[in-house]
């Protein structure tokens, strides 16, 4: 993993400080900033490294309309984890043949909605991770394209909570996969096999990735053989999932996508496909597309020296960006308002939520923060806004889109919620009847 220039990710230093500060003034904080040009670049980097593959954007990383449209224009497909994501991808212009719905223990309501979308878009593919999901599709009259998700017995990723292979709820166990695949092919149009090891895979995980892809290649050859014996159509693709990591810390080397692509190709080998073609490789990255295209801006409200650290209270919290609280995830943080002559102090940047997990960093050097300063939390484009909540009755933040390094041309793409947005779904209780 040598990290050529192309592998460089966009760090906080690469953003225009004055431009970000001006956005914080204009749109107030907390504020997400998303650079759509960078999103396109990331799509292109993936397509360049995997020219032979179908590249599907895992929509869950950032489902904003502006991002979905940008990704669609860049030529990627969409991988959706729920009926809601399918609906939003369709609204952003993805066509049925570029839509892949990954059904994880799917609620009946989701299956109903996707089967109804399939009526209008018969090329949608449903990826199924349990044999009984096939029955549930059958019961609804679905007889379209399905893909079988397999648990390859290998998990990887930046935290145990984001490992989806091995001891996890996802996919059909590898040992049961051939029989389930053949059953699926007899009842539906089985177009692919799928596995996803986890999220945030680094260069150090390359051996695990190679092992997973190798197991999928073996399985696909076994299934292809049985399909051919039964005279059933062959596989169109083998999807080896997403999970390509992004180096959040300065010292982490960037992922060498070309090395990952070469290892993937090598480990997969050739899988006989449909109509005399080889089955294609498919990948479905989310984080890699959006992580370094986003920044969260927040303003300092309180600076409080304590015996252990200086608490820097900011107006963003775990409701806006939950990754540090949930996974102890590291995000770079810089004080955009700092005067360079000021020294750095050990600071604990904390939000306004009544939970002690509401901390973005603990005792980390930060150029001396003062009340009113604007801080930038970097690499916040993936799983940032998407995982935001309204806990403590906090409306979700606004988001503004920019194109490239010139931040003067910005467009609001999500308005800041109001408390009214939160209470719109509520109804006052009826007056209690008098029971005497
Ligand atoms: N495909 C499937 C089936 C997935 O479950 C996921 C992510 C992806 C693709 C995309 O993975 P990515 O390329 O983004 O790593 N909230 C966590 C990440 C959870 C990922 C869940 N599945 C985080 O903030 O780190």
- Domain extent for 371: 291-423
Has residue 132 been placed in a domain? yes
Residues 67 and 170 in one domain: yes
Residues 301 and 260 in one domain: no
Has residue 145 been placed in a domain? yes
The model's pLDDT over 343-375, given as tens digits with 9 standing for 90+, comes to: 999 999 999 999 999 999 999 999 999 999 999
Q: Which of residues 249, 271, 288 is at a domain's end?
A: 288
Residues 261 and 349 in one domain: no
The model's pLDDT over 226-261, given as tens digits with 9 standing for 90+, comes to: 999 999 999 999 999 999 999 999 999 999 999 999
Residues 52 and 146 in one domain: yes
State the distance from the centre of ligand 1 to the C-alpha of 57, rounded, in angstroms. Answer: 10
Q: Mean pLDDT over residues 416-420, rounded?
A: 98
Q: Mean pLDDT over residues 292-317, rounded?
A: 97
Nearest residue (by CA) to ligand 1, atom 24, is 383
Q: Which of residues 265, 288, 311 is at a domain's end?
A: 288
Residues 267 and 162 in one domain: yes
Residues 220 and 307 in one domain: no
Q: What is the pLDDT of residue 435?
A: 58
Nearest residue (by CA) to ligand 1, atom 11, is 243
- CATH (domain of 369): 2.40.37.10
Q: Give the tokens for residue 135.
A: 């029955």
Residues 280 and 295 in one domain: no
Residue 2: pLDDT band by 50, 70, 90 thresholds?
very low
Has residue 295 been placed in a domain? yes
The CA distance from 112 to 86, in Å, is 12
Residues 358 and 227 in one domain: no
**What lines the ligand 1 site, CB under 6 Å?**
58, 61, 79, 102, 162, 164, 196, 199-200, 241-244, 284-288, 323, 327, 383
Q: Which of residues 237, 269, 288 is at a domain's end?
A: 288
The model's pLDDT over 121-130, given as tens digits with 9 standing for 90+, comes to: 999 999 999 9
Number of domain units in the chain:
2
Residues 194 and 272 in one domain: yes
Residue 177's Cβ-side half-sphere holds a number of Cα atoms within 13 Å equal to 29
Residues 335 and 276 in one domain: no
Q: Is the pLDDT of residue 36 over 60?
A: yes
> Predicted ipTM?
0.99
Residue of 43, 147, 354, 361 with catalytic role: 354
Has residue 86 been placed in a domain? yes
Pocket residue to mutate for ligand 1, from 161, 209, 286, most atoms within 8 A of Cβ: 286
- CATH (domain of 63): 3.20.20.10
The model's pLDDT over 84-115, given as tens digits with 9 standing for 90+, comes to: 999 999 999 999 999 999 999 999 999 999 99
Q: Does the predicted model carry a pTM greater than 0.80?
A: yes
Residue 55 forms beta bridges with which residues? Answer: 283
Has residue 10 been placed in a domain? no
Cα torsion 115, 121, 122, 125: sign: negative
Has residue 17 been placed in a domain? no
Q: Is the pLDDT of residue 4 over 50?
A: no
State the distance from the centre of ligand 1 to the C-alpha of 104, rounded, in angstroms. Answer: 13
Has residue 26 been placed in a domain? no
Has residue 16 been placed in a domain? no
Rg, C-alpha atoms of the chain: 23
Residues 155 and 170 in one domain: yes
The residue with greater pLDDT, 316 or 9, is 316
Residues 310 and 199 in one domain: no
């Amino acid at each position: 993993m040598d990290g050529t220039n192309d592998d460089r990710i966009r760090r906080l230093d690469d953003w225009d400080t004055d431009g970000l500060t001006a956005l914080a003034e204009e749109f107030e904080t907390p504020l997400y900033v998303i650079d759509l040009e960078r999103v396109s670049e990331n799509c292109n980097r993936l397509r360049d490294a995997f020219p032979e593959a179908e590249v599907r954007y895992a929509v869950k990383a950032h489902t904003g309309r502006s991002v979905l449209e940008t990704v669609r224009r860049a030529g990627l497909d969409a991988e959706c984890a729920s009926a809601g994501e399918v609906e939003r991808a369709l609204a952003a212009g993805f066509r049925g043949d570029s839509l892949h719905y990954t059904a994880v223990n799917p609620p009946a309501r989701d299956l109903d909605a996707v089967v109804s979308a399939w009526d209008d878009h018969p090329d949608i593919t449903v990826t199924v991770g349990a044999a009984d999901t096939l029955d549930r599709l059958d019961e609804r009259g679905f007889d379209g394209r399905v893909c079988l998700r397999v648990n390859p017995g290998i998990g990887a990723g930046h935290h145990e909570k984001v490992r989806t292979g091995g001891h996890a709820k996802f996919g059909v166990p590898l040992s049961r996969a051939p029989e389930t695949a053949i059953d699926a092919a007899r009842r539906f149009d089985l177009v692919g096999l799928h596995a996803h090891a986890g999220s945030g895979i680094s260069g150090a995980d390359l051996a695990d990735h190679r092992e997973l892809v190798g197991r999928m290649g073996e399985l696909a050859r076994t299934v292809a053989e049985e399909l051919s014996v039964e005279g059933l159509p062959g596989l169109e693709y083998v999807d080896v999932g997403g999970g390509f990591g992004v180096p959040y810390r300065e010292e982490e080397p960037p992922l060498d996508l070309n090395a990952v692509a070469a290892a993937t190709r090598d480990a997969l080998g050739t899988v006989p496909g449909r109509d005399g073609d080889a089955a294609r490789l498919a990948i479905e990255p989310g984080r890699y597309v959006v992580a370094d295209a986003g920044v969260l801006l927040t303003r300092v409200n309180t600076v409080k020296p304590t015996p252990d650290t200086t608490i820097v209270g900011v107006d963003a919290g775990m409701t806006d960006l939950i990754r540090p609280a949930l996974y102890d995830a590291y995000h770079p943080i810089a004080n955009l308002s700092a005067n360079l002559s000021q020294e750095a102090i050990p600071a604990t940047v904390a939000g306004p939520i009544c939970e002690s997990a509401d901390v973005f960093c603990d005792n980390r050097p930060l150029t001396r923060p003062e009340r009113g300063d604007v801080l930038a939390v970097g690499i916040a484009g993936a799983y940032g806004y998407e995982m935001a909540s309204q806990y403590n009755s906090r409306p979700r933040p606004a988001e503004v889109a920019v194109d490239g390094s010139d931040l003067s041309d910005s467009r609001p793409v999500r308005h800041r919620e109001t408390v009214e947005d939160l209470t719109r779904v509520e109804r006052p209780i009826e007056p209690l009847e008098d029971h005497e």
